[in-house]
A and B are shown apart, each in its own frame.
Chain A
Amino acid sequence: MTQPVAASGPLPLGRGRAAAWVWRAGWVAAAALPLIFLGIFFAWPVSSLVARGFSSEAGSGLSAVTEVLSAPRTWRIVRDTLTLATLGTLASVLLGLPAAYLLYVVRFPGRGALRAFVTIPFVLPTVVVGVAFVALLGPRGPLAFLGWQESLPAIVAALVFFNFSVVVRTVGGLWGRLDPRAVQAARALGASPARAFRTVTLPALGPAIASAATLVFLFCASAFGIVLVLGGVRWSTIETEIWYQTTQLLDLPAAAALSITQLVIVALALMLTSWTGARQERALRLRGDASGEHAWAWRRDGFASVVTGIVVATLLVLPLATLVVRSLRNRTGWTLEHYRALGTSVGRSLPVPVWVAIRNSLVVALQATVIALVVGVLVSLVVSRRPRDPLARSGLRVLDAVYMLPLGVSAVTVGFGFLITLNRPPLDLRSSMILVPIAQALVALPLVVRSILPVLRAIDPRQREVAATLGAPPWRVLASVDGPFLLRGLGLAAGFAMATSLGEFGATTFLTRLDRPTLPVVIFRLIGRPGEATFGAALAASVVLATLTALVVLLAERLRPAVASDL
């Protein structure tokens, strides 16, 4: 009647086992490809950079690190970097909090448009932001009377312009979803609005504020384009100093030593970020379902409205408007001559006409986007797996950490690292023009992973299980369950990658060839030269670059496929 256990019937297992092995090998390859990419284009340049910093110059007996660290100039620059980053972070957070409240908790007509507008600065190229503030504060600018050219307030204002939206989105996103009943309970227990805010709302927002602040600090501490354009000779950060030592003084060991210093600062900020990030995830789970939004009321929302209005008008609208207006004017009045100059090499200031640089930028950005997407999608897919095997699971955790390493490395370090490693045998890529898109892809990679990975991680693992129990083999589970979510993140990731790459300046400026410049490089070159014509062309080129970048991001938002559910 029955079979003994041992005599299990024959099954067509041969093919199934082979398929399982092919499948597993595919995943190993998917994990290995990004590893190899990061090994060659990240680990190698950065480690040889570190080695260069610690190796001693012939005869001196001192390594570059000790030499650089004993120079008073270095400490002034480190101090300036930290001062700028701290002031930029403080100002961004203080000004961003009222806006986060207004844009995510209060309902009023035009809120969506205002939210979108506030987001724009974040995706604008740093060089464009720098030029906009020069146009505003520099000679013959509307605010020239302040005398803020090449000054601390100018740089801090530009840093806030950039990072305001980081605070607004990170904190606002949480604020809008806080359960209002906690505050209502506090008020019912007799707390004044101020006390309810201090004792209930602020602690709930704390992790989000901390996380936004560390992120902003990271961005500010590695600001390059803004400081290079706005800082003049008086203000420099570690990033601009690396550039200065490399390209102007040709002191590579000193630059390497500075890069190590920067790596340490960034690593500390990153550790803080991941720590606050973990805390925020914990806090987010506590959110209530009830919407905390309410309609606008002057008594309650007047202060936030006024502060946000002033910030948006003076810090966001004014520089951009000045940029656009001044690109359309000369001494006599309105003109398109600056835009016409983009068809030329602007009185021999440039090796190529500006439009060629525009074309270069687009081509390079497309290449960089493809590279970043391929690597980023593989990383996201691999890291979002949840293997049963404990060994595979711990291996995955290590991979996760390794893949995230480039997150903290500044673009300048990447560019400089490429410069000293990849332009000589065994890998001489300097002349192949592929280094620029690769470096840009590396800079864009964290953004790509950050757009795709959370979407994949949000998939309930039982979705895959249910697909398998309905007879779907692993490849069909991947295509039908992960696929739609992947597509959803892909449009946004592509937009971010393309926008980052279009505006990328820090790495590109080390790697671009004189005869094949990208648009940001050309803008920087133009702004650095005297003369009304070159300045006008720089303004016009900045407007073009800003428009391109904004268009790409808008398009990506549109491309995001509409889905039935918002998980």
Chain B
Amino acid sequence: MRPVDSVRPPGGLTPTGPATGLRVRDLSVRFGSTAAVADVDLDVGAGGIVALLGASGSGKSSLLRGIAGLEPPTHGTVFWDGVDLSATPVHQRGFGVMFQDGQLFPHRDVGGNIAYGIAHLPAAQRAMRVRELLALVGLPAYERRAITSLSGGQAQRVALARSLAPAPRLLLLDEPLSALDRELRERLAVLLRDTLRATGTTALYVTHDQDEAFTVADRIAVLAAGRLVRVDTPEELWRDPGTREVAAFLGYGPFLEASVASALGWPPPGIPQDALVAIGPGGLVVDLAGPLVPVGGQTPRRGVVEVSVTLPGGHPAVLSATERVPDAVLPVRLEPARCAVVAAAAPTSSDPGAGSEQTARPAAGAGWRT
């Protein structure tokens, strides 16, 4: 397992990290006998936006709720600017939360919702802040609108404005765009990123959508089965996913052994025996010089045809062609620039030391690329 260097310093287990911002140490959340979150260490520097990426059931919402104080951690500590927040109740943490379905208050209009968290301000200032935030999320003059009159996307923008109104020191977003349709989601992800940047808000963004995480965050933390397996910048994470588990979650696949990769044109000296080539989108191309592989089904898509092939070793794979393939076989090869090299075995132990032993390989992995 690749060590998460930004999370656990090589020096040992002493919790260190940025003096400002969020620091989570050893956090575990259990529901009955199920461990939803196990021993998570995570830092979010002031002004940073970290996406918490994981499949459904990976514990990302529980981690977020643990940080907000909505779920009592089994053990572990949440710090802000070095201060332990264990005894601080939710409403005094200064952490905002935005839920997937907005959870707007139905008895208040749009303005009343946004003003909820700034009730302590004088009325005039409050009204100004509401106007300011509505302009920021692109809904000017919506103050008196009823919550029921809003579309799904509008409701989420109001929810964003509401959670930003009290200027929380940390904003926790729990799949804020998941309930929306694809097009709207892509549009709002950009708006969200721009708004968070414009307000300088420190944010932890939970999502299961890889594209959303890459759009919004400046760092991505990958969570699997309650454990943090990777924290990195979007670019670095894509370039070098590290483990098969992470790569598969990001959309890489299938995974080829060294011999198969070499047969498909992976440049010498090949890859180590305990590593795999992860084929990314566009990582398998038609090349007349390549070995012939049998063609399975062909599915027309917009502008291209998706051709299913069976690679040596029995790996099913898909590649794009401009038109239907007339023959039962097709010459293919790997496109190394669109593939990644990952560790073969998933980590089997929860012992943090187990990760350290494997550190050498992926660090050198970049060098094996073409």
Contact = CB atoms under 8 A, between A and B. Distances in A.
Contacts of A470: 91, 96, 116-117, 162-163, 165-166
Interface string B298-331: 0000000000000000000000000000000000
Nearest to B99: A462
Contacts of A473: 91
Nearest to A481: B105
Interface in B60-114: 68, 70-72, 77, 79, 82-84, 86-97, 99, 103, 105-107, 109
A5 B25 CA distance: 9
B83 A468 contact: no
Given A16-B89, A388-B72, A484 B15 contact: no
Contacts of B103: 460, 462-463, 465-466
A481 B105 CA distance: 7
B146 A564 contact: yes
A564 B90 contact: no
Contacts of A2: 15-19, 82
A389 to B, nearest CB: 9
Contact of A9 (B68, B83, B96, B147): B83
Given A5-B77, A470-B163, A563-B107, A465 B82 contact: no
B14 interface: yes
A233 interface: no
Contacts of A463: 103, 105
B148 interface: yes
Contacts, number: 107
Contacts of A1: 16, 19
A427 interface: no
B19 A466 contact: no
Contacts of A4: 14-15
Interface residues of B, number: 45
Contacts of B77: 5, 8
Interface string B125-155: 0000000000000000000001110000000
A17 B343 CA distance: 50
A188 interface: no
A565 B84 contact: no
A472 B103 CA distance: 15
B29 to A, nearest CB: 12
A159 B70 CA distance: 51
Contacts of B146: 564-565
Nearest to A6: B84
A473 B89 CA distance: 9
Contacts of A481: 105
Contacts of A477: 91
A470 B103 CA distance: 12
A229 B14 CA distance: 83
Nearest to B115: A470
A390 to B, nearest CB: 9
A18 interface: no
Interface string A528-567: 0000000000000000000000000000000000011101
A136 B82 CA distance: 82
A477 B116 CA distance: 11
Interface in B17-46: 17-19, 25
Given A466-B99, A563-B107, A564-B147, A471 B117 contact: yes
Contact of B89 (A3, A20, A462): A20
Given A1-B19, A9-B83, A565-B148, A468 B90 contact: yes
Given A2-B19, A3-B82, A5-B15, A469 B90 contact: yes
Contacts of A469: 68, 70, 90-91, 93, 95-97, 163, 168, 172
Contacts of A297: none
A8 B82 CA distance: 7
Contacts of A468: 70, 89-91
Contacts of B25: 5
Interface in B144-182: 146-148, 162-163, 165-166, 168, 172
Given A9-B84, A13-B87, A472 B116 contact: yes
B93 to A, nearest CB: 8
A442 to B, nearest CB: 32
Interface in A500-520: none
A388 B148 CA distance: 31
Contacts of B79: 5, 8
A328 interface: no
A466 B166 contact: no
Given A465-B70, A481-B105, 13 more contacts: A8-B84, A11-B88, A16-B87, A388-B72, A462-B99, A465-B90, A466-B103, A468-B89, A468-B91, A469-B91, A469-B96, A469-B168, A474-B91
- Cβ-closest 5 pairs across A and B: A8-B84, A470-B117, A565-B106, A484-B107, A9-B83
26 contacts: A1-B16, A2-B17, A2-B19, A3-B19, A4-B15, A17-B87, A460-B103, A465-B68, A465-B103, A466-B99, A467-B105, A467-B116, A468-B89, A469-B70, A470-B96, A470-B162, A470-B163, A471-B91, A472-B117, A480-B116, A481-B105, A563-B106, A563-B107, A565-B146, A565-B147, A567-B106
Interface of A: 1-5, 8-9, 11, 13, 16-17, 20, 388, 460, 462-463, 465-474, 477, 480-481, 484, 563-565, 567
